[in-house]
Amino acid sequence: MAKLPLPNEQPIAVNALRNMRARIAGEIAMHSCEIDRLRAELVHLDATLRLFDPATEPSDIPALRRYPRRCAAIPGARSGLLMAK
């Protein structure tokens, strides 16, 4: 089995990997904050919906999924939106 090079033998590769990891960790943190904001917004929207129609159960409303442009060519997709299953 070949010996892996030590970090001081591959400083460019190690630095690139560290930078990539830091970028991905930052994206996770950013998206976590966005998820928290959207969940709070959904709670308020559900409460408002119940004010106008107390018989409505918001969790019964199916979610619309948005797909990135690269996936928009899926058969049956319109404007990048599909009903979640």
Supply the pTM of this predicted model: 0.56
Whether 3 is covered by a domain: the verdict is no
| Domain extent for 34 | 10-83
Whether 2 is covered by a domain: the verdict is no
17-72 confidence digits (pLDDT tens): 989 999 999 999 999 999 999 999 999 999 999 999 999 999 999 999 887 766 55
Whether 1 is covered by a domain: the verdict is no
Whether 44 is covered by a domain: the verdict is yes
Distance CA 25, CA 22 (A): 5
The confidence band for 13, taking pLDDT boundaries of 50, 70 and 90, is confident
Structural domain count, the chain: 1
Whether 4 is covered by a domain: the verdict is no
